[in-house]
Amino acid sequence: MNRSYFFVRHGRAVYQERGFRRSAHPPDTDWPLAPAGHAQARAVVSPLLRFGVTRVVSSDLERAKQTASPLASLGSLPYEHRWPALNEIAPWKLRDPGKRRPEWWHGVRVATAMRRHLRGQPVHGVRLPQLEAQMRGVLAELDRLDEPRVAVVGHGYWILLCAMLLRGQPRKRWVDNCSITRIDADGRGDYRVVSFARPCHRV
């Protein structure tokens, strides 16, 4: 294994703030970071630079871009955010539009969707092989980059499902904001999850 990819879930977004009612907004709202999320984005810079990261990529959603920007700026690293395959894949549309639901309710629905995916059942017409192909496409694209150590800023459901697929589905712990999941690669299509969803202050 001569390459390492450090997958980082975006910092805390405004929809995660206490009392915020995400269900009162359209499912495709492009949420920015909350103040706490900006602080998390700054805190994750140092451990990633210690890992020797020399490039940053992210999904093109606002909360991911705002998380990646401090690392790219403070580390003077090349940064590319036009990676839509890294965008959120959690089935937020499972919720009923217009109904006011507590945040825990969304978590239950996402966990249900995860179980359906892992059992081979479709969620909104999307089956696990489609998502796995999307994730392996991203990993192959990372393999083609010149830099061997890359920070990849994305979203929790994506990172969790990717780690479970690569490990044979043993992990079911959620991915916290700005936690770091390390995936090593040999550049020829072989990948290994080295660490999963570790808080940035513990790496």
Residue 53's region, left for phi above 0, alpha for psi from -120 to 50, else beta, is beta
Give residue 93's pLDDT: 46
Output the pLDDT for position 100. Answer: 56
Predicted pLDDT at 115: 72
The residues with which 4 forms a beta bridge, in sequence order, are 149, 184
- Check pLDDT > 90 for residue 86: yes
Domain boundaries, the chain: 3-17+40-171
What does the block give as tokens for 196?
């999963």
Q: Is the confidence at residue 113, as pLDDT, over 70? A: yes
Q: pLDDT, tens digit, for every residue of 35-61?
A: 999 999 999 999 999 999 999 999 999
Residue 131 pLDDT level (bands cut at 50, 70, 90): confident
Of residues 17 and 55, more confidence is placed in 55
DSSP 200: G
pLDDT score of 183 more than 90: yes
Tell me the mean pLDDT in the region 140-156: 96
Residue 96 has pLDDT above 50, yes or no: no
The pTM (predicted TM-score) of the whole model is 0.86
Mean pLDDT calculated for residue range 105-128: 69
Query: Which architecture does CATH list for 3-17+40-171?
Result: 3-Layer(aba) Sandwich (3.40)
Per-residue tokens: 66:
């705002």
Give the pLDDT score at 172.
Answer: 64
Query: How far, in Å, CA of 121 to CA of 131, rounded?
Result: 12
* pLDDT value of residue 60: 93
Tell me the two tokens of residue 41: 């984005």
The half-sphere exposure of 58 on its side-chain side, counting CA atoms within 13 A, is 26
Q: Which residue has the higher pLDDT, 80 or 98?
A: 80
* CA-closest candidate to residue 109, choices 125, 129, 128, 93: 93
Residue 104 CB neighbours (<10 A): 8
User: Quick check: 126 pLDDT over 90?
Assistant: no
SS3 category, 185: strand
